[in-house]
């Protein structure tokens, strides 16, 4: 479900402030973020109370405790209460415990129904057991600018993600400088589309950011392919750089075709958040190289 009016307005204001150079990424999990995470865990993506109960047991083992609280609350109730009460540095463990618990429950159910390997979804396609759950959790994290991403069952902080630290953050600092406003708008839009879970639009916006950068640096043309040829002829990029830009062009064309022709939300060729992050990181690396200025003509 997309955000309602007030939340949409708040997110739009936040994105506008980001376009002005502010950054809001943090490792602080507000109560609102914890509530949103619980709603995801309680949604059709998260399954029933058994996932929380399994997560509760995993937490106890990890903490070396016999109980999270004294009293007669069920394991699931204690698990969610701990999500609200624990320190910020414990929230990632709670998320990991829930995802691991969900996986255990899914596998047990899959064995029972004898279709291990994927959950049937409308249309008959198969997806990994927790793909939608992971997407939903990461959607909350990105929307609330929490500097973690759930990857392969682990909450990975941005500080340990070289691509984010070495590419995205420097690019945002670069694009806050005069002259790069149009590039910044498109690059920020790509990040916002990732937050909304729209991989295809994020890829398209990243490609637009690259186009705007080439135009700003003096290349001519209306399409990324033409701009790449012009940039190579003018020495903005080297000949051996051109194939990389052409790959971005192909990715944008694929995303655009997918967005236009795909009606099934679970189509196997749908642009994912991972596809979008890959494109954003590659485009960011190219923008950093282009920002160095000077001719890159090969000798």
Chain segment 176-219, per-residue pLDDT in tens: 888 898 998 898 888 878 777 788 899 999 999 999 999 999 99
pLDDT for residue 20? 74
Query: What is the spatial distance between Cα 250 and Cα 253, in angstroms, rounded to a whole number?
Result: 5
Q: Retrieve residue 78's tokens.
A: 């204690």
pLDDT tens digits, 84-114: 999 999 999 999 999 999 988 877 776 666 5
Query: Mutual orientation of helices 91-113 and 31-41 as an angle, nearest 10°?
Result: 0
pLDDT for residue 97? 96
> Could you tell me the pLDDT band of residue 168, with boundaries at 50, 70 and 90?
confident
Q: Where are the domains of the chain?
A: 25-157, 162-290
pLDDT for residue 259? 57
Mean pLDDT value across residues 25-51: 92
Fold of 162-290: 1.20.120
Return mean pLDDT, the chain: 84
> Could you tell me the pLDDT band of residue 271, with boundaries at 50, 70 and 90?
confident
Please give, one letter per residue, the 3-state secondary structure of 229-266: HHHHHCCCCCHHHHHHHHHHHHHHHHHHHHHHHCCCCC
Query: What is the spatial distance between Cα 162 and Cα 135, in angstroms, rounded to a whole number?
Result: 21
pLDDT for residue 126? 47
């Amino acid at each position: 479900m997309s955000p309602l009016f007030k939340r949409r307005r708040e997110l739009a204001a936040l994105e506008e402030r980001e376009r002005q150079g502010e950054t809001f990424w943090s490792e602080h999990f507000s109560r609102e973020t914890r509530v949103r995470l619980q709603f995801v865990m309680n949604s059709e993506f998260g399954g029933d109370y058994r996932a929380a109960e399994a997560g509760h047991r995993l937490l106890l083992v990890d903490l070396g405790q016999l109980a999270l609280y004294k009293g007669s609350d069920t394991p699931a109730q204690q698990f969610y209460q701990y999500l609200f009460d624990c320190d910020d540095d414990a929230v990632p463990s709670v998320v990991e415990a829930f995802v691991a618990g969900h996986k255990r429950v899914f596998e047990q159910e899959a064995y029972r129904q004898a279709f291990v390997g994927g959950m049937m979804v409308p249309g008959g396609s198969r997806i990994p057991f927790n793909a939608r759950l992971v997407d939903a959790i990461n959607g909350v994290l990105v929307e609330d600018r929490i500097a973690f991403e759930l990857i392969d069952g682990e909450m990975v902080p941005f500080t340990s993600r070289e691509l984010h630290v070495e590419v995205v953050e420097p690019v945002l600092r670069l694009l806050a400088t005069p002259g790069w406003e149009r590039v910044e708008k498109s690059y920020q839009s790509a990040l916002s589309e990732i937050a909304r879970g729209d991989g295809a639009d994020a890829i398209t916006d990243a490609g637009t950011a690259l186009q705007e950068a080439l135009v700003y640096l003096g290349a001519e043309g209306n399409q990324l392919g033409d701009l790449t040829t012009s940039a190579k002829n003018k020495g903005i990029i080297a000949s051996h750089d051109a194939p990389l830009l052409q790959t971005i062009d192909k990715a944008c064309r694929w995303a655009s075709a997918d967005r236009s022709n795909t009606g099934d939300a679970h189509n196997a060729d749908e642009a994912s958040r991972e596809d979008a992050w890959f494109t954003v990181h590659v485009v960011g690396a190219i923008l950093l190289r282009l920002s160095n200025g000077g001719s890159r003509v090969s000798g």
